[in-house]
Amino acid sequence: MITIATWNINSVRLRIDQVERFLTQEQPDVLCLQEIKCTESLFPREMFERLSYGHIAVHGQKGYHGVATVSRLPFAETARHDWQANGEARHVGVELTGQGLFLENVYIPAGGDIPDREANPKFGQKLDFLARMTQWSKDLGSKDGGRPTLLVGDFNIAPLESDVYNHKALLKVVSHTPLEVETLNGLAAAHGWVDLGRKHIPAPERNYSWWSYRSFWRDKDQGRRLDHMWASPDLAERSREHRLIEETRRWDQPSDHIPLMTRFAA
């Protein structure tokens, strides 16, 4: 079995003790982190190496964004796509050596507060990012013979009505607008991606991964499913279990996201 986890950590240096606690407790083979908020030179490698996660790929930048993949299994870095087309560090891809599995770690832009490309350029950048990912997904089938691929990370979109605490209230809120959902569905169709979160926890079961830091959101369980693990069809057949580790949201000074974990047959 191979276990892979993904977590928007919202500053890996600030929450390095929580990452260590998670790795010690859950023991995934691979952990994909988003929003690490540091350059590669400042990434806290010592803890990961001490816990035998010595295979590390970091695509970072100072103070913002950034992704990192750490693993107990050897891998080779394969790509750092600039789907935002502005130099921001939002993707790193690796191939797990001898496993026949490609792992793509992505942090899709949040898109600002106004769901209008003209009034809010960040929203347009988010849609364009997804469009570039969609073309890349189409190419996966033609160029790579349908390679077993896992696409994980903070997608910043909750696509289903049951992926948010109040569908009607959030229809005009960035992360759940019909245009974002339509665009994300286009990405899913481009490679036949299988949403493992909903394969193992079918809608309309509760399946949130993010809650605002404002306390009343937590008290009322006003969450959204913004984090995802998608598998190519052949790899999806190998998935055996998918879990959300909600307890991390109750730790001191937590990330606003929680980790997701999927276990695959080797």
Summarised one tens digit per residue, pLDDT across range 120-130 is 999 999 999 99
Lowest mean pLDDT among 84-98, 135-149, 220-234, 239-253: 135-149
CA separation for the pair 79, 95 (Å, rounded): 10
According to DSSP, the residues that pair with 2 across neighbouring strands are 264
Q: What pLDDT does residue 214 have?
A: 78
pLDDT at 199 over 70: yes
State the pLDDT confidence band at 265, using cuts at 50, 70 and 90: very high
pTM: 0.96
Separation CA 127–CA 209 (nearest Å): 22
pLDDT given at position 46: 97
Confidence of residue 215 (pLDDT cuts 50, 70, 90): low
String of DSSP letters for 231-245? E-HHHHTTEEEEEE-
CATH number for 2-264: choose from 3.60.20.10, 3.60.10.10, 3.40.50.2300, 3.40.30.10: 3.60.10.10
pLDDT tens, residue by residue, 151-172: 999 999 999 999 999 999 999 9
Give the per-residue pLDDT at 235.
94
Structure tokens that stand for 55 in this block:
């295979």
Angle made by CA atoms 257, 258, 263, in degrees to the nearest 5: 140
Please say if the pLDDT value at position 143 is more than 70. Answer: no
Q: At what angle do helices 121-144 and 178-191 cross, to 10 degrees?
A: 10
Position 140 confidence tier, pLDDT thresholds 50, 70, 90: confident
CA distances from 153 to 41, 43, 67, 98, 209 (A): 22, 19, 9, 23, 11
pLDDT of residue 201 exceeding 70, the answer is yes
Give the pLDDT score at 253.
93
pLDDT-derived band at 220, boundaries 50, 70, 90? confident
CA-to-CA distance for 83 and 86, rounded, in angstroms? 8
- The pLDDT mean for the chain works out to 95
**Band of residue 146 on the pLDDT scale cut at 50, 70, 90:** low
Closest Cα partner for 248 from 26, 18, 32? 18
Is the CA virtual torsion 252, 253, 257, 263 positive or negative? negative
Give yes or no for a contact between 19 and 245, defined as CB atoms under 8 angstroms apart: no
User: Bigger pLDDT: 219 or 207?
Assistant: 207
Give the pLDDT mean for 19-41. Answer: 98
Average pLDDT value for residue range 215-238? 89
